[in-house]
Amino acid sequence: MRPPTLAATNRSNPAQFAPDVATDIRRSAGAFFDANERIYAGYLQNVISFGKLRLQTGVRFDASDTGFLANRIVTSDPSDPAITPTTPRITPNRQSAGYFNALPSVQAQYQLDKNTNLRANFSQGIARPNIGDLVPTTIVDPNASPFPGVVIEGNPNLKPTKANNYDILIEHFFQPLGILQGGYFYKQLSDPIYPTASTIPAGQPNAGLRLLQSINGPSAHIQGIEVSWEQRFSFLPGLLSGFGVSANYSYTQSGVTFPSTFDGGRIDNAPLSRQAPNTWNAGFTYDKARFSMRFAASHNDANIQFYNYSHVDAATDRDPILGLKGPGGDVYFYAHTQFDIQGSYRIAKGFRFEASGLNLSNEAFGFYQGSTIYPIQREFYKPTVSFGFRWTSSPE
């Protein structure tokens, strides 16, 4: 008996292939934008040495000019019943933005001994907004869930985040191959950029809906310590000489201030979005004769995806159900620990066998709101294993 054709299957269950016109229109119109960005930059630098002291100074000039064309999409309007999710109002929106910065830096390096250096650094830098956050696309959807309707809006007025960076670092070089580093850093940020979800106040268009938009905050800071160690154990005898290690760890503490207009003004100093307190990577290598191998473990603590909590008062902020850690709190990425391995064996010149295994710990990816007991999404990918042969005619 022949299997049913596509047409026969469609006749038996037409809804299975029914088009979702409303979603298709929103995605198509919302995905369309034209962005043109020109960046102009230049720098001046001077290096001078006084015995064991090396001093480097400089200034970087950075300017940007950006223009956008995007769409404003409205799926519901009480004053116009012809506007529906399947017949939205789509209007073009043109905007532009630009800036100029002069960014100085001073770095001093002092040689404590032949293999040990002490470094101190002050510099100013910028972090440009993501193009996707700048594009002035606007989607108004009063029927969206889980919020009571949302307005998703780009922000072409975003300023680049400007940072005053203070660093001190000590480093020691092992012989023949290796380095150990440790240091402290402090970054003072102005106009930090972070994604937010806030309620549109009464008296404004779309009042009561949730506005999803990236904004500039007044200020923020990051400080922390970091250590790293890389070494090749070539001084060991025999097969042990092929081993190596590459590891680093950082602990950071950060805090942001919120605009007074953000949901009535949050008074907590939440951590910076996408800034995990503890991060570490540990890698073990082996390179000997024809065989090469890399094993890596990496970890990121839970960190904020976007700010969502609506401030009421200090007592409510601390409430385990209604406060920051409740189901109405900020949205977080889950903590993530992953193990990967890859290796190769050279069979002949230009010809090798390769194999790899990714996400061997089957670590899940997802989001939660406030606390892990309030999950939003969990994604499971399982390990990925690959192997094969590679041939190249170029010299190795």
Q: Does residue 24 lie in a domain region?
A: no
| 69 shares a domain with 120 | yes
| 230 shares a domain with 206 | no
What CA–CA distances, in Å, run from 4 to 15, 19, 106, 180?
17, 22, 74, 67
> Which pLDDT belongs to residue 145?
62
* Total of domains in the chain: 2
Using the 8-state DSSP alphabet, how is residue 308 labeled? -
> Which pLDDT belongs to residue 18?
67
What digits encode the pLDDT tens for the residues 300-334? 999 999 888 887 788 888 888 888 899 989 999 99
> Which pLDDT belongs to residue 206?
77
| 380 shares a domain with 311 | yes
> Which pLDDT belongs to residue 6?
41
> Which pLDDT belongs to residue 194?
81
| 197 shares a domain with 323 | no
Q: Does residue 29 lie in a domain region?
A: no
Residues of the chain whose pLDDT is less than 50?
1-10
What digits encode the pLDDT tens for the residues 57-73? 999 999 988 888 877 77
> Which pLDDT belongs to residue 340?
96
Q: Which domain holds residue 103?
A: 35-168+178-212
| 298 shares a domain with 188 | no
DSSP sequence for 123-187: EEEEEPPPHHHHS--EEEETT-TTTTSEEEE--TTPPPEEEEEEEEEEEEE-SSSEEEEEEEEEE
Q: Which residues contact 50 (CB under 8 A, 6 or more apart)?
A: none
| 121 shares a domain with 249 | no
| 235 shares a domain with 127 | no
> Which pLDDT belongs to residue 21?
64
| 202 shares a domain with 263 | no
| 277 shares a domain with 143 | no
What digits encode the pLDDT tens for the residues 45-61? 999 999 999 999 999 99
| 148 shares a domain with 67 | yes
Share of the chain residues as helix, strand and coil, in percent rounded to the nearest 5: 10, 55, 35
| 195 shares a domain with 265 | no
